[in-house]
Amino acid sequence: MIGFTAPWALPGLAAAAIPLLLHLFARRVPPTVVFPATRYLAETARAHHRRLTLQHWLLLLVRTLLIAALVLAAAGPTLPSAGLATHAPAALTLIVDNSLSSAAIAGGTPVLDGLRRAARSILSAAHPDDRLWLLSADPTPRPGTPQQLAAQLAELTPSELRLDLGQAVALARQAMAGQPLRSTIVVLSDLQRTAVTATTGTGPIVVVRPGDGSVPNLGLAGLTAGRQPWGPEGGRVSATIAGSEQKTSALSIRVGTRPPRQQLVTANATFSAASGVLGPGWWTVRAELEPDELRLDDVRVNAVRVAAAARAGWRSEDRFLATACDVLLQSGRLVRGSELSIGWLGNASSIVLPPDDPATLGALNRSLASRGVTWHYGDLVPGSGVLDSGATLGRHQILRRYRLVPGAPNSGAPHGILLTAAGEPWAVLSGNVILLGSRLEPAWTDLPVSAEFVPFVDYLANRAVRGEVALLDVAPGDPAMLPDAATAVSHDGSVHEVEGGSRFRTRNSGLYFILSRRDTIGVIAVNPDPRESILERASDAEIRRLWPGASVVSPDAAAGAALSAGGRADLRGPFLVLAAVLGLADAMLAGIGARRAARRGA
Amino acid sequence: MPAAAVFPATPRLDLLDPAEVARLGGLEVITEGIVEGFLAGLHRSPRRGFFVEFAEHRMYQPGDEPRYLDWRLLARSDRLYVKQFEEETNLRAMLVLDTSRSMDWSGSPDERLTKRAYAECLVAALALVLLRQRDATGLLTFDAEVRRVVAPRARHSQWHLLLRELQATPRGGGTAAEPALRRVVEQLRRRGLVVFVSDLLFDPPLALTALRFLRHRGHQVLVLHVMDPEEVELRGPAEARYEDPETGEAVVLRPADWAEAYARTVRTAVAEWRAACRRRGIAYERVTTDTPFGLALRQALVRSTGLA
C-alpha cells in the first residue's frame, strides 16, 4: 500500500480542484465586442468547437493532474517493495540487545557478535538521508549517521543491565515520534521470553532472530540472609538458582573469609547454608556457580550485619512486656544491661510506653522534649482501631491509644513513623527513642496476646531502636532509595557523597555500603536481574501476539527486511517526472494559443 | 474614430488626399474588353459609338468607300484623300458602395478608418480617376435597400455630386446586395464597368448571381472586398462576446484559442470569393483599411485590366 513520509502535505490535494473551481465559478461575463465578421467566427466555432472543447478539458485535466502530482510528490509517496537497491529516506531505530544474556556463548561466539553483524548489515544498507537511532540496554536512543552508529556498535559490549524489549520498543517509538519519515524499529536480540513484553504504539517492527538456539544455563537468581542484624550466633544464607531445568551445577557460598559451603544444585532450587558464629560488623556473602555458557550470572554477592544482643532493662510490672523480654533473654536476643530501657524513657535508648495514669503524661512530654524527641503524646483516642502497617505486623486491634503528635524533626537524627493505626502514627522513632501509642497490655491492644508479640519486641529492641539496617537488593541500572540518614556510598574503597532520601543507581554489580557520616547504616547489593539467567527464547507466535504486525527474520535477511519495512520505494522521483511531463503538456497545450497569437503578432 | 468625425457634414472636398490623387494621376483605367459608350476616350469600341473623331488623311486607294473621300480637300488640292476616323467611346462606370452597418466599423478607430470611410475614399478616388478620363461615372449606395443612385455622367460637376451623395447616404442597416446590383443594370444599358465595393458580409449566392448577370450583360465587374485588418487577424481581450452589428448574432470565445482557426476560415472565405469571381469572369481584389489608397486603387485598376 502506498505510504507517505510527509502525510501532512496531503490536504494540499484539495488544491487540485482549483482549476476546476476556477473553470466553474470564476467565469465572469465577458465583454461584448461588436464585430462585423461574426459570421466567420460562428462558422469557425461550428467547425472547430469539438477540437477546442477537447483541448480545454484536456488542459483542465492536465493542470489538475499537475497540481495533484506536485502535492503527492511533496507528501513523499512510498511503496512497499522488498529487496530494493534504493529506498526512501526512513527513520530506523536499531534496538541492539546487549543485556547480560547477550554474553552467552552460542556456537562458539557470544550472541552479541551475531546481533552486531546483523546490525552492521543494516547500517551498511542505510544512506545519509535515513534518520537512525541506536538503542542498547542503556537504554538511551542515540541518533547518528550510519558511520557513527557503526562505530558505537563496534564498542558495544555485553552489559549487566537488563533490557525490557517492550519498553525499548516504546522508547524507540518515542524517539522517532514527530519526525516525518516512515519509522521502523529493528529488534536485534536473543529474544529471551522474559524480555519480550507488551509494548505501546503501532508501527512496523522487524525482529531479527539469532540463528543459534538458546543455550542451557544456570544462574544465581537470589542470595538472601534473612532478617538483620544477625546476632553473634550468625544466621543462614539462601541462594536461589534459575535457568535450564535439566542442568546441574556446583554452588559455593562463602560468608566473609569462612570456608565456602558447596552444593550441587539445579534450576529453581534454593540452597541454604549456615554461617556459623560471627563477630559483630558487616560480612560479605558471595555465592558462585561453576562457569557455564553465561558467566555474568554465575556470581552473586550480598552482605550481612552481625550485631551483639541489645543490653536492655525492663520492669516486671509491665507484665506482658516483661514476659516477652524474658523469652528474648533466654534465647540470647537480649542481655541484661542499661543501654536500652524498654517501657519507659531512660537515659539511653528507650522504648517508651504511654503512662497508665493520664496525670503523668505532661511530665513525660516535657521529658521527651528535653531529650530532643520530636514527637510527644497528644489526646487519648477512645474507640477501636487497627494496626495497618502490614509489612511489620499483622492487623492487630488497638483498643486505646494516645495520639502521637509530631514536632520539628532534628536534622540528621533518624526519625519517622514505624507503625500506624487507623491511618495515624502509632509507633514512631525519634533519634534513639521509640514512642508507642498504646500500652502493651490487652486492655489497650490485642498484640500482647498474639504470637507476633515476642518477635515484635525483638524487632523494637534489636533493630528499630538502633536504626533500621538498610539492606537493598537491586539489579544494575535499577534505582535504590537511600535512607534519609545516608550521606555517602562506599564501593571498592571509593566513597561517593549522596543525598539522603535520594535514588541511587549503578550499572555495575557489587556491594555498595551506605554511610551516615562514619557509620555504615546499610548496603546496596547490586546483582544481575535473575530473569537474565533464563535464556529460553520467545516463539515467533508469542512475538507476534505481543507485537502485532511484527515480522521475524533471520540475521541474513535483516537488512532487506528492515529497509523493505520502513525503506519503501521512493516515489517522489516518478511523481516529479510525471509533474514535469504534465507541465510540459500544459505548456504545449497552452502554448498553442500563445504561438497562434505570436504568429498573428508577427 | 466614427465615420462622422472623418467625414464632417459639410461637403468633403478633402475627402481625397491630394497626394494620393497626384499619385493616382498617372494611372489609367484600361480595360481589355471593348465597352460601349458615347464619349470618345482611350477605350476601343467594336462598333460605332455616339461620337466619331477625325484621326488623319491618307491617299485614296482603289476599293475605299467613296463616302469617306474628303471632298473639300479634293476641291482645294485636287487630290484624293480619304478621311480616316477613329471611333472612340468613353467608359460608363457604375460605382456600387455597400453602406450597411457592418461597413461602419473599425477594429482600431484611433488608427484606422472605418470600412465605410475607407470605401468612400476609395470610391471617390476611383470616380475622380474615371471622370478625369472623361468616363461617365455613376454611383449607387445600398444597405438593406438601395439608398442613393447617381446616373453615370462625365461632366465636371459629376464628381462633386458623387461626393455629396456619398456623404448624404445615411448610416445603413442590413445588407441586400442583390437588389442593388440588379438596379445597376437599369443604370448601365450599354456595356460598362461596375465596381462593387463591399465587405461582402452577406450570403454570397444571390450577390454572385447578380454579379454574373452583370457579366452576362457584358459589363466588366470589379469586386473590391474591403476588410479591416482585425477582421483578417482576430484580436481582442482574453475572452469576449463577439456580436454581429447587423444580425445580433453573438459568439463567446477566447481569441487566443480561435485566432488561427478564424484566420483559416477568413482565408477560405476570401479564396472562395476569389474563385467564384474568377469562374464568372469577375475581377476580385481584397483591400484592407490599412492599405494606402493609391496602392489599393492601383491594385484594383491593374486587376481590372485583366477583365475579359
C-alpha to C-alpha distance for A188 and A336, rounded to whole angstroms:
64
**Which cell is A308 given?**
551483639
A538-561 burial: b if 16+ Cβ within 10 Å, else e: beeeebbebbeebbbbebebbbbb
Same domain, B71 and B181: no
Give alpha helix (H) positions in A90-246. Answer: 111-125, 146-154, 165-176
For strands A182-188 and A90-96, give the pairing: parallel
Q: Which amino acid is at A266?
A: T
User: Which contiguous run of DSSP H or E holds residue B294?
Assistant: helix B293-304
Question: Cα(A558)–Cα(A543) distance, rounded to whole angstroms?
Answer: 16
User: Residue holding cell 466588366?
Assistant: B220
B3 occurs within a structural domain: no
A41 touches chain B (CB under 8 A): yes
| Same domain membership, residue A188 and residue A111 | yes
Residue B62 lies in a domain: yes
Q: Which CATH number covers residue A379?
A: 3.40.50.880
Contact between B307 and B280 under an 8 Å Cβ cutoff? The reply is: no
Using the predicted structure, report yes or no on whether residue B8 has a pLDDT greater than 70. Answer: no
Give the number of domains in chain B.
2
Give the full edge-to-edge strand order of the sheet including B193-198. Answer: B146-153, B136-142, B92-98, B193-198, B220-227, B283-288
Task: Please report whether residue B37 resides in a domain.
Answer: no
Mean pLDDT to the nearest integer, A375-392:
80
For residues A2 and A588, give the distance between their C-alpha atoms in angstroms, rounded to a whole number: 31
Letter for the amino acid at A455?
A: P
Q: What is the 3-state secondary structure (H, E, C) of A416-477?
A: EEEEEECCEEEEEEECCEEEECCCCCCCCECHHHCCCHHHHHHHHHHHHCCCCCEEEEECCC
Do B103 and B56 belong to one domain?
no
B51 φ, ψ to 5°? -120, 135
Listed as own residue / partner, the contacts of B136-139 with beta carbons closer than 8 Å and 24 or more positions apart are: B136/B37, B136/B38, B136/B39, B136/B90, B136/B91, B136/B92, B136/B93, B136/B192, B137/B93, B137/B94, B137/B95, B137/B162, B138/B92, B138/B93, B138/B94, B138/B95, B138/B187, B138/B188, B139/B94, B139/B95, B139/B96, B139/B97, B139/B165, B139/B166
The shortest C-alpha distance from A596 to chain B (Å) reads 6
Q: Which helix (H) or strand (E) holds A60?
A: helix A38-74
Task: Please give the residue range of the domain that contains residue B292.
Answer: 11-28+91-304
Q: In this predicted model, what pLDDT tens digit does every residue of A21-37 receive, in sequence order?
A: 877 776 667 888 888 88
pLDDT at A42 over 70: yes
**What pLDDT score does A402 carry?**
93
**B198 min Cα distance to partner chain A (Å):** 12
Query: Contact A214/A292 with Cβ under 8 angstroms?
Result: no
For residues B240 and A33, is the Cβ–Cβ distance under 8 A? yes
Pure H helices in A75-157: 111-125, 146-154
Three-state secondary structure call for residue A3: strand
The most distant pair of C-alpha atoms in chain A lies apart, rounded to whole Å, by 136
- With cell 516483661, the residue in question is A322
Q: Give residue A75's pLDDT band: very low, low, confident or very high (50, 70, 90).
A: confident
Could A41 and B251 be called an inter-chain contact, meaning their C-beta atoms sit closer than 8 Å? yes
B192 in a structural domain: yes
3-class SS of residue A289: strand
Q: Chain B interface, mutation test: which of A40, A51, A55, A57, most B Cβ atoms within 10 Å?
A: A40
Domain that holds residue A121: 90-214+546-570
Q: C-alpha angle B123/B129/B131, rounded to 5°?
A: 95
The model's confidence at residue A81, banded by pLDDT at 50, 70 and 90, is: low
Q: Are A478 and A472 in contact (CB under 8 A)?
A: no
| A445-to-A399, A401, B307 alpha-carbon distances in Å | 5, 9, 147
Residues B199 and B77 in one domain: no
Residues of chain B in contact with residue A50, where contact means CB-CB under 8 angstroms, are none
Cell of B175: 445588407
Where among A416, A439, A464 does a domain terminate?
A: A464
Question: Same domain for B85 and B95?
Answer: no
State whether B55 and B71 are in the same domain.
yes
Span A128-136, mean pLDDT? 88
* Distance of alpha carbon B197 from alpha carbon B285, whole angstroms: 10
Number of domains chain A is built from: 4
Question: Within this chain, do residues A231 and A248 fall inside the same structural domain, yes or no?
Answer: yes
Check if B270 contacts A (Cβ < 8 Å): no
Residues A355, A333 within the same domain: yes
> Residue B36 in 3-state DSSP?
coil
| Whole-number pLDDT of residue B271 | 92
A279 and A363, same domain (yes or no): no
Tell me if A232 is assigned to some domain.
yes
Q: Is residue A254 part of a domain?
A: yes
Q: Check A41 against B262: CB less than 8 A apart.
A: yes
Residue A516 bridge partners (DSSP):
A519
Task: Please answer whether residues B250 and A29 qualify as being in contact, where contact means their C-beta atoms are separated by less than 8 angstroms.
Answer: no
Q: How far apart are the first and last CA of chain B?
A: 39
Same domain, B136 and B19: yes
- In a shared domain, residues B55 and B170: no
Q: pLDDT tens across A417-476, in order?
A: 888 888 889 998 888 899 999 999 999 999 999 988 998 998 888 877 666 677 888 999
Which residues on B lie below 8 Å from A30 (Cβ)? 237, 239-241, 252
CA dist., res. A322 & res. A316, Å (int)? 5
Residues B78 and B206 in one domain: no
Residue A82 in any domain: the answer is no
Residues B189 and B146 placed together within one structural domain of the fold = yes
Q: Identify the band that residue A601 occupies on the pLDDT scale cut at 50, 70 and 90.
A: very low
Q: Is the peptide bond before A229 cis (omega within 30 degrees of 0)?
A: yes
C-alpha span between B209 and A215 (Å, rounded): 113
Long-range contacts for A321-325 (Cβ within 8 Å, ≥24 apart)?
Answer: A321/A353, A321/A440, A321/A448, A321/A457, A324/A448, A324/A453, A324/A454, A324/A457, A325/A457, A325/A461
Say yes or no: B146 and B105 in one domain. Answer: yes
**Please, what's the b/e burial string for A464-479 (b: 16 or more CB within 10 A of its CB; e: otherwise)?**
bbbbbbbbbbbbbbbe
Residue of B nearest to A599 (CA): B260
pLDDT digits (tens, 9 = 90+) for B168-215: 888 878 877 788 888 887 777 777 888 899 988 888 887 888 888 888
Chain B residues close to A32, C-beta within 8 Å: 240-243, 250
What value does the mean pLDDT of chain A take?
Answer: 85
DSSP letters of B132-183?
A: HTT-EEEEEEESSSEEEEEEEE-STTHHHHHHHHHHHSPP--S--HHHHHHH
> Does the pTM of the predicted model rise above 0.95?
no
A593 touches chain B (CB under 8 A): yes
- Which residues in chain A have Cβ-Cβ distances shorter than 8 Å to B228? 36
Q: Does B242 touch chain A (CB under 8 A)?
A: yes
CA separation for the pair A524, A537 (Å, rounded): 31
Would you tell me how many other CB atoms lie within 10 Å of the CB of residue A222? Answer: 16
Residues B59 and B122 in one domain: no
Give a yes or no: residue A497 inside a domain.
no
Do A264 and A338 lie in a common domain? no
- Shared domain for A314 and A457, answered yes or no, is yes
Other CB atoms within 10 A of residue B136 CB: 24
Q: From the CB of residue A331, how many other CB atoms can be counted at a distance below 10 Å?
A: 13
In a domain, residue A199? The reply is: yes
Say how far residue A114 (Cα) sits from the centre of its chain: 26
Omega of the bond prior to B229 within 30 degrees of 0, cis?
A: no
Mean pLDDT of A203-223: 86
Same domain (yes/no): A150, A139: yes
User: Rounded distance, CA B165 to CA B181, Å?
Assistant: 18
A44–B241: do the CB atoms touch at under 8 Å? no
Look at the block and give the residue holding cell 539462601.
A238
pLDDT the model gives residue B88: 44
C-alpha triplet A79, A81, A87: angle, nearest 5°: 75
In a domain? residue A401: yes
Helix (H) or strand (E) holding A253: strand A248-255
Under 8 Å between Cβ of A1 and A80: yes
Give the closest-approach CA distance of B104 to chain A in angstroms: 9
A108 and A18 share one domain: no
Residues near A422 by Cβ (< 8 Å), separated by ≥ 6? A385, A386, A388, A398
Does residue B36 fall inside a structural domain?
no
Inter-chain touch A38–B260, beta carbons under 8 Å:
no
Most A-contacting residue of B116, B252, B258 (CB-CB within 10 A), to test interface: B258
Q: Which of A47-61, A323-337, B69-83 has the highest mean pLDDT?
A: A323-337
Residue from A22, A39, A51 whose CB has the most chain B CBs within 10 Å, to mutate: A39
φ, ψ at B175 (rounded to 5°): -125, 130
| Residue A416: HSE in the Cβ half-sphere, 13 Å Cα cutoff | 12
- The verdict on B203 touching A (C-beta cutoff 8 Å) is no
The pLDDT, as a whole number, for residue A7 is: 74
CB contact A591 to B (< 8 Å): no
Please state, as a whole number, how many other Cβ atoms lie within 10 Å of the Cβ of residue A277: 12
Write the CATH number for B224: 3.40.50.410
Give the CA angle between residues A388, A350, A415 to the nearest 5°: 55
For residue A70, pLDDT over 70 is answered with yes
Q: Is residue A119 part of a domain?
A: yes
**Closest-CA distance of chain A to residue B227, Å:** 9
One domain for residues B61 and B157: no
Regarding whether A52 and A108 lie in a shared domain, the answer is: no
Q: Is residue B1 part of a domain?
A: no
Mean per-residue pLDDT for B34-45? 31
- Is the separation of the CB atoms in A450 and A396 below 8 Å? yes
How would residue A596 be classed by pLDDT, with cut points 50, 70 and 90?
Answer: low
Residue where a domain terminates, one of A276, A302, A328:
A302
- H/E segment holding residue B223: strand B220-227
Lowest-pLDDT range, A119-128, A133-142, B268-277, B296-305?
A: B296-305
CATH code for the domain in which residue A298 is found? 2.60.40.10
Residue B21 banded pLDDT, cuts 50, 70, 90 = very low
Highest mean predicted confidence (pLDDT) among A221-235, A397-411, A494-508: A494-508
Neighbours of B250 (CB within 10 A): 17
Residue B23 inside a domain? The answer is yes
Torsion of CA B279, B283, B288, B289, to 10 degrees: -140
DSSP A125: H
Tell me how far apart the alpha carbons of residues A570 and A182 are, in angstroms, rounded to a whole number: 11
**A285 and A256 assigned to the same domain:** yes
Q: Find chain A residues with C-beta within 8 A of B199's C-beta.
A: 36-37
In a domain, residue A135? The reply is: yes
Same domain membership, residue A359 and residue A245: no
A contact test, residue of B246, B251, B252 with most A CBs within 10 A: B251
Return the C-alpha cell found at B235: 484580436
Both A10 and A24 in a single domain? yes
